Amino acid sequence: GTDPNVVIGLFLDINDPAFAEIVVLAAKLLAIAALFEFFDGTQTIAMGAIRGLKDARTTFLIGLGCYWLIAAPAAWLLGFSTDAGASGVWWGLALGLFCSAVALTYAFEWKTARLLHREAAGLAVPA
């Protein structure tokens, strides 16, 4: 794995004892951010694929549910109702993106399977 101190060292003197707590927190947040980016990339690709099928409604509804009903409450609960602090906020947001990635990927798979089934049955496929 990549040493988080290389990235943190671009912004702070990691050997300065005054920054010791910040370096530890930044290393935790970078690890969460890496996972966050994986989920975000996955959901962004799935969202684009669904929109490519001319369906913005599904992406809107899944985004609404995952961001506002899962990510925001989870971030608040983990960040402010536990002692996780900033890490809890980022874990909550990552959870929402994970749910969005799974839901959007499933929605894309379902929509394409339905279109392929219609085409195989000789039915009209919407343009």
pTM metric for this prediction = 0.84
DSSP string, 19-83: GHHHHHHHHHHHHHHHHHHHHHHHHHHHHHHHHHTT-HHHHHHHHIIIIIIIIHHHHHHHHHSST
Q: Which amino acid appears at position 109 of this protein?
A: E
Q: Give pLDDT tens digits for 51-74.
A: 999 999 999 999 999 999 999 999
Mean pLDDT score of the chain, rounded to an integer? 93
pLDDT band at 120 (very low <50, low <70, confident <90, very high): confident
pLDDT band at 92 (very low <50, low <70, confident <90, very high): very high
pLDDT band at 3 (very low <50, low <70, confident <90, very high): confident
